[in-house]
Structure 1
Amino acid sequence: MSSDSRAHLGRLPLGAAVVVAVVCGVLMATQSRINGELGRQLGDGFTAAALSFTIGLVIVMVIVGFMPSARRGTRYAFQEVKQRRLPLWTLFAGFGGAVFVLSQGLASAVVGVSLFTVAFIGGQTLSGLLVDRAGLGPGGVRYLTLRRVLGAGIALAVVVWSILSHIEPDIPLWMLVLPVIAGAVVAAQQAANGRVANATGSAVTSTLFNFIAGSTALVVVALAHALLVGGLPASFPDTWWLYLGGPIGVVFIVGLATAVRTTGVLLLGLCSVAGQLGGSIAIDLVAPGSGHTIDWTTPIAAGLVVVAVLVVSLPRRRSARATVTAETMSAPFIG
């Protein structure tokens, strides 16, 4: 099967892709709360991140073992890389997920899920704009427009305001900046995931490579931290839901790898914003982290980021002929 044929497998309509992105956003906020709490109870965010990713890797490997299409997709990926139709770096996109999960374990329980999410979104939005312009995603180059730049600018302003309004002695500045960095690398991760899924016809294959790369990186970092700083945790909590971060990650990585083939990186990130913000605010209201309460700035920031989503994602008015032409030109890239 050619790579062009595989690219059309599992195609989602735009509306369905948007819904998938929103649901994945809710799951990302939920994972942030879980991994943050696991890191807090362990007293070691590095071990929490490595544990979460490793559990996810085991689940994905089991899934791949029962899915012939995913095993074929793995072979296709290596073939595409060998024939230079798929860049080698895309197989290591899991490093971006590793940064995200590590930032969850280190920062989200301290700053709160909603503030963590707003900062994460800012990095993801700006990076997504650049990733789309560079053509790193499966949809090819998506040119900058005034509307896209304006939407990204609104998101950036919201993040800067949120960070400045929450600088205080109890919250180190690096904990506020870390989720911004995580968002930036996740935008590139999603672009790579889309390209791997596009080339192999399997989002599960893309997810497998994510968890292999991310788990390897996080286990090495956790062991290095244990050797240099003070050892591994002496005991682990027995609360079952603290270990669901990995399974949740499997679900939303598969979903995002599928949706990005239709939406592009920036639109994917901004559509998932609605889910992330809604989920994170609900979590901080219903089950806040230890010592954390949501303040009045967060709902305002969430509302402004939604405005940014609308500015970027609402279609421009254009003639039917132009619409058909644009869709035809982009069809080979849409998964």
Structure 2
Amino acid sequence: MLAIFIGILAGMGIGLQTAINSRLRHFLGSPFLASLVSFSVGAIALLTVLIISGHPLLLEHSTIVNIPWWAWFGGLLGMIGLTSNVLLFPKLGGVQTAVMPILGQVLMGSLIDTFGWFHSPQADFSFHRLIGLLLVLFGVFTTVVLPHIHSLRNKHVQGLWKWQLAGIIAGMVMAAQTAINGELGRQLHSATYAATISMLGGMLSISLIVLFYKGNFSRLTLAVGKGKPYWIWFGGILGAIYISVGAWLVQIVGTGGTVVLMLCGLISMSLLIDKFGWLGVTKKVVQKIQLLGLFMLLSGVACIHLL
């Protein structure tokens, strides 16, 4: 029960991080620079935790060679998922850019749990698990899609299905990252160490994108000075907590369970931010249909983990 609560809280943290990074992106004028700041701050925070806890920063050669090669690429997959959202937004709009990766995450999480991919704990695809996943998907549809259904009907993009498929694949990549980080944490006996490696990998990957594609690091100074809230620099800490909890939680509830719990927290926090206008976000009316969708999400979580 405690693990479920922690998973939802971590998801709520990533909802806050999204709003914080949105403000940072506004000042920097670049989603890639905002992501670089987020990854860098998260990596520094995790390295600090390792140092304070007395954890050795360098791994022994025998440890490195005994870990599967794919376990080192969680950070790269995280960067791919993040960058995909930036590229998808102009083609799909905000609603579908949110929903398609969610579908991919839920699908991939279920496949990983069912077949035990990436050495993830295997779980039978039972009837109550199926009902729970359907409730989660209906909850996402009710909370995110239904309030904007009219705008979706009016959106016509040539080859739209290709972008929708890309969004689903991006979500599958992010679910794979969760499983991979979980396995790395198991091998290293430290979810924090696994999260640190993932954040450093993401930081290096996004640095290359900024350097060769968008690259003007001097724009970082635009987020400093009068009228720039200090907290826009700390979204990465929430991201670090999210990845650390994910790497730990996978070994307890599986990849699919981790994805669903954090998704529930993410959507809950998003509704709270809209309702109360936290972090400078424009207040929006939370509709009753969205509350119904959130209830369906929570019911799905209960069906999967408590029955």
TM-score between both structures, scaled by the size of structure 1 = 0.73
Cα separation, partners in 2 of 1:179 and 1:40, compared to 1, 3 Å: farther
1:42 alignment partner AA: L
Cα separation, partners in 2 of 1:80 and 1:47, compared to 1, 3 Å: same
* Match of residue 87, structure 1, among 56, 68, 71: 68
2:251 alignment partner AA: R
| More helix by percentage | 2
Identify the residue that residue 301 of structure 1 maps to in structure 2: 293
**CA-CA distance at 1:193 after TM superposition:** 1.4
**CA-CA distance at 1:178 after TM superposition:** 7.5
Identify the residue that residue 148 of structure 1 maps to in structure 2: 129
Q: Using the alignment, how far apart are the partners of 2:26 and 2:203 within structure 1?
A: 20
CA contact (8 A) 1:46 1:218 kept: yes
2:198 alignment partner AA: N
**CA-CA distance at 1:35 after TM superposition:** 1.1
Q: Using the alignment, how far apart are the partners of 1:42 and 1:168 within structure 2?
A: 33
Identify the residue that residue 324 of structure 1 maps to in structure 2: none
* 5+ long unaligned stretches in structure 1: 1-14, 316-335
Identify the residue that residue 269 of structure 1 maps to in structure 2: 259
Identify the residue that residue 59 of structure 2 maps to in structure 1: 75
Q: Using the alignment, how far apart are the partners of 2:139 and 2:102 within structure 1?
A: 10
Q: Using the alignment, how far apart are the partners of 2:293 and 2:212 within structure 1?
A: 37
Are 2:177 and 1:185 aligned? no
1:92 alignment partner AA: F
**CA-CA distance at 1:80 after TM superposition:** 4.1
- Measured on the aligned residues, the alpha-carbon RMSD in Å equals 3.5
Q: Using the alignment, how far apart are the partners of 2:132 and 2:201 within structure 1?
A: 32
Look up the SS of the partner of 2:222 in the other structure.
Answer: coil
**After superposition, where does 1:76-115 map in structure 2 within 5 Å?**
79-83=62-66, 86-102=67-83, 111=94
CA contact (8 A) 1:273 1:306 kept: no
**CA-CA distance at 1:54 after TM superposition:** 1.5
Identify the residue that residue 11 of structure 1 maps to in structure 2: none
CA contact (8 A) 1:94 1:209 kept: yes
CA contact (8 A) 2:275 2:286 kept: no
* 5+ long unaligned stretches in structure 2: none
**After superposition, where does 1:56-75 map in structure 2 within 5 Å?**
56-71=42-57, 75=59
Identify the residue that residue 124 of structure 1 maps to in structure 2: 105
Cα separation, partners in 2 of 1:182 and 1:21, compared to 1, 3 Å: farther
Q: Using the alignment, how far apart are the partners of 2:230 and 2:301 within structure 1?
A: 35
TM-score between both structures, scaled by the size of structure 2 = 0.79
CA contact (8 A) 1:97 1:186 kept: yes
**CA-CA distance at 1:198 after TM superposition:** 1.1
* Match of residue 311, structure 1, among 300, 303, 307: 303
**CA-CA distance at 1:291 after TM superposition:** 6.2
Identify the residue that residue 251 of structure 1 maps to in structure 2: 241
Q: Using the alignment, how far apart are the partners of 2:117 and 2:111 within structure 1?
A: 9
Are 2:212 and 1:213 aligned? no
Q: Using the alignment, how far apart are the partners of 1:79 and 1:152 within structure 2?
A: 40
Q: Using the alignment, how far apart are the partners of 1:294 and 1:102 within structure 2?
A: 30
Cα separation, partners in 2 of 1:300 and 1:118, compared to 1, 3 Å: farther
Q: Using the alignment, how far apart are the partners of 2:127 and 2:14 within structure 1?
A: 29
Per mean C-alpha deviation after superposition, the further-off stretch among 138-147 and 44-53 is 138-147
CA contact (8 A) 1:111 1:175 kept: no
Cα separation, partners in 2 of 1:32 and 1:119, compared to 1, 3 Å: farther
**After superposition, where does 1:160-175 map in structure 2 within 5 Å?**
162-163=144-145, 165=149, 166-167=151-152
Q: Using the alignment, how far apart are the partners of 1:210 and 1:179 within structure 2?
A: 22
Deviations 1:24-67 (A, max 9, x none): 01101111111122223322111111121112222223333333
**CA-CA distance at 1:248 after TM superposition:** 1.3
2:298 alignment partner AA: V
Identify the residue that residue 194 of structure 1 maps to in structure 2: 182
Are 2:32 and 1:46 aligned? yes
CA contact (8 A) 1:35 1:104 kept: no
Deviations 1:115-144 (A, max 9, x none): 876655433222210111231355432232
Look up the SS of the partner of 1:68 in the other structure.
Answer: coil
Cα separation, partners in 2 of 1:300 and 1:139, compared to 1, 3 Å: same
